[in-house]
């Protein structure tokens, strides 16, 4: 196995292609986006990820990786395309089937096809049937199909591609072992071998577990807000129990995985996923709760001061310190406020101005002047750069700290720790008669 074709050069496909090229494979990156392909071949990684620029350039210059809008023959095909959902929350597998048809046009005897995209249980087997139908070759004899879901964290992708354990599921045992050979060359973490359906379900269960835990944190926050308590303090104290580890609440759940994957399980196992559906509904509702809280503060400000406030939102991405706005609850909050005719400013340090303008119809403003101008500041994303803010500049502002940006945990000093009064002077609660 010398030549690898990575189908889809996005947040997962491009780093995978780079790592494979650094580990001796000759890699072709196939993508239908001509501009993306041209930029990658010029050494521009397109996406924001630590180390990606310095890792991409050497393999492009050496010829070990090149991108193309034309799929080429290879020994191993890695499919890493998006899997969004339709309006009815069912999986949209159009990109997977299109990738399968492209691979089928060049597949030859002995080739291995590995689906990395997160998919409903049973999709890998359907992909194998599509390859048989389109190529005329026989699965398990002429070519081999496996599923190995990606398990990396944006912002730490290059390390996690190497050190994280991988779940490798084959349509049959031969496929499982052949897929293992691809990963064995660069993965230092454990390789767990199973069948394709199990591997598919494992990935969905992992992300659904996270979604459910976040939903619980958001429910804790809602209860705390209703009693005018600080949810971050409640959770910090609850976590003092040796067997409790509650996550922190946020403005919702986004990204291409956690906000999407539970629906794939709900679609397939409708009778056995009531908890997952409830968690999804809680997390999907959270942005609307934040919008209601912001509207309440605006109305209160107008009533008391007889003028419209200036509102600043901090953050648009779905999680801290990345440039990804897919399924972002912070972005949804901004869009909803604009739809409600509320004039807002937004500062997002990780998203370029062109994307902000295209997405929201306005640029990302400069941080310090915007804070000076703002009457209401809504902290949506816990970017590292925001943590360095001088608290003094926020002293006269109304601050809705949805993500716990300004919350400072207590330091352990002696046996007694006093949590009285709530020690974060900048944390503004939702009013009982508000959201």
- Rounded to an integer, what distance in angstroms lies between the CA atom of residue 53 and that of residue 43? 7
Four-point Cα dihedral 414, 420, 422, 423, nearest 10: -40
- Residue (of 405, 431, 36) closest to 251 by Cα position: 405
Catalytic status, residue 203: yes
The two beta strands, 376-379 and 112-115, are unpaired
Task: Name the H helices within 136-195.
Answer: 157-163, 173-184
Let me know if 257 is a catalytic residue.
yes
Query: Which residue among the candidates 5, 148, 257, 379 is catalytic per the annotation?
Result: 257
As a residue count, the chain comes to 435
Contact call for residues 330 and 315 (beta carbons, < 8 A)? yes
Per residue, what are the HEC states of 363-398?
Answer: CCCCHHHHHHHCCEEEECCCCHHHHCCCHHHHCCCE
**Active-site residue among 55, 203, 382, 397?**
203
Residues sharing a CB contact under 8 Å with residue 242, sequence separation 6 or more, in sequence order: none
Residue with tokens 């492009």: 60
Contact 169, 138 (CB under 8 A): no
Supply 15's token pair.
Answer: 């780093």
Active site residues: 203, 257
């Amino acid at each position: 196995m010398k030549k690898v074709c990575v189908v889809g050069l996005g947040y997962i496909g491009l780093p995978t292609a780079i790592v494979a090229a650094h580990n001796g494979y000759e890699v072709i990156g196939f993508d239908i986006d001509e501009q993306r392909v041209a930029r990658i071949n010029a050494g521009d990684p397109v996406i924001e990820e630590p180390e990606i620029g310095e890792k991409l350039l050497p393999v492009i210059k050496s010829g070990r990786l090149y991108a193309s809008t034309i799929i080429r023959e290879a020994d191993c095909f890695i499919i890493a395309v998006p899997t969004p959902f339709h309006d009815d929350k069912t999986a949209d597998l159009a990109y997977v089937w299109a990738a399968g048809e492209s691979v089928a046009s060049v597949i030859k005897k002995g080739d291995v096809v590995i689906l990395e995209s997160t998919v409903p249980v049973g999709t890998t087997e359907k992909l194998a049937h599509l390859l048989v139908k389109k190529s005329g070759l026989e699965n398990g004899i002429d070519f081999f199909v496996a599923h190995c879901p990606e398990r990396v964290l944006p912002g730490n992708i290059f390390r996690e591609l190497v050190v994280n354990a991988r779940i490798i599921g084959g349509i049959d045992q031969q496929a499982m072992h052949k897929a293992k050979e691809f990963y064995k060359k660069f993965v230092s973490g454990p390789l767990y071998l199973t069948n394709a359906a199990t591997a598919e379900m494992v990935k969905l269960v992992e992300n659904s577990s996270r979604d459910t835990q976040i939903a619980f944190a958001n429910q804790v926050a809602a209860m705390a807000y209703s009693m005018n308590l600080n949810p971050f303090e409640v959770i910090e104290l609850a976590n003092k129990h040796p067997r409790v580890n509650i996550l922190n609440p946020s403005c919702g759940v986004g990204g291409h995985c956690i906000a999407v994957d539970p629906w794939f399980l709900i679609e397939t196992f409708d009778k056995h996923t009531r908890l997952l559906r409830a968690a999804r509904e809680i997390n999907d509702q959270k942005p609307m709760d934040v919008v209601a809280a912001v509207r309440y503060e605006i109305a209160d400000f107008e009533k008391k001061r007889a003028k419209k406030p200036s509102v600043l939102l901090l953050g648009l991405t779905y999680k801290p310190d990345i440039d990804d706005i897919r399924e972002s609850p912070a972005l949804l909050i901004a869009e909803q406020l604009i739809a409600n005719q509320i004039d807002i400013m937004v500062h997002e340090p990780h998203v370029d101005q062109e994307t902000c303008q295209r997405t929201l119809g306005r640029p990302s403003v400069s941080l310090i002047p915007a804070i000076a101008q703002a009457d209401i500041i809504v902290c949506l994303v816990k970017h590292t750069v925001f943590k360095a803010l001088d608290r003094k500049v926020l002293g006269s502002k109304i601050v809705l700290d949805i993500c716990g940006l300004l919350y400072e945990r207590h330091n352990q000093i002696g046996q007694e720790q006093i949590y009285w009064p709530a020690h974060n002077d900048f944390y503004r609660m939702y009013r009982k008669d508000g959201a």
